[in-house]
């Protein structure tokens, strides 16, 4: 769905936002939306139990008073009920959000696991072109080889909620 909120034009890609719901299938509560705006200042309601990232694609905006430029991702921890967005010109940004992980995880390349061994197994499964990761076609040829595992033990990062 595409809708307007104050001076913002919002294209909901996935999830639910301000009473609108995307047709995309989800397996956990999350949100993905493109936000377009011009010179404006507004507060947008958000889910307090989600953490968010706003990736600016075009223009410069202030998010909760912090200046964010193109190609920058601004992190918003869980607990807030609105996002203040201010711009002096046209902008486009991607809003991503969801419930925070309540456990420590390892994020490496395109894999998310709980242990170093899980990540190694995922990489091996990816490289083997096995059943776990189905083949796909895209404009660049489908398969992209995973980089070598670093010569260190991958360790989980702590949840921001701890």
108-134: average pLDDT = 92
- In this structure, how many other beta carbons lie within 10 angstroms of the beta carbon of residue 129? 11
Query: What is this structure's pTM?
Result: 0.72
129: left (phi over 0), alpha (psi -120 to 50) or beta: left
User: How large a percentage of the chain has pLDDT more than 90?
Assistant: 77
SS3 44: strand
What band does 162 get if pLDDT is binned at 50, 70 and 90? very low
CB–CB of 149/123 below 8 Å?
yes
- Please return the burial class of 42, using the count of CB atoms within 10 Å of its CB with bins 0-12, 13-18 and 19+: middle
List, for residues 44-85, the tens digit of each pLDDT value: 999 999 999 999 999 999 999 999 999 999 999 999 999 999
């Amino acid at each position: 769905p595409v809708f307007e909120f104050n001076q913002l034009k919002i294209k909901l890609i996935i999830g639910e936002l301000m009473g609108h719901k995307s047709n995309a299938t989800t397996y956990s509560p999350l949100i993905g939306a493109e936000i377009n705006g011009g010179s404006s200042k507004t507060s947008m309601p958000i889910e307090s139990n989600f953490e968010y990232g706003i990736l600016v694609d075009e223009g410069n905006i202030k998010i909760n008073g912090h200046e964010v430029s193109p190609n920058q991702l601004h992190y918003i921890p869980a607990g807030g009920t609105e996002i203040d967005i201010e711009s002096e010109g046209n902008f486009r940004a991607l809003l991503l959000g969801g419930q925070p992980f309540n456990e420590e995880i390892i994020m490496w390349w395109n894999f998310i696991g709980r242990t170093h061994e899980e990540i190694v197994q995922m990489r091996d499964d990816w490289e083997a072109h096995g059943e776990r990761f189905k083949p796909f076609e895209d404009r660049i040829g489908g398969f992209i080889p995973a980089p070598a595992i670093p010569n260190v033990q991958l360790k989980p990062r702590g949840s921001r909620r701890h």
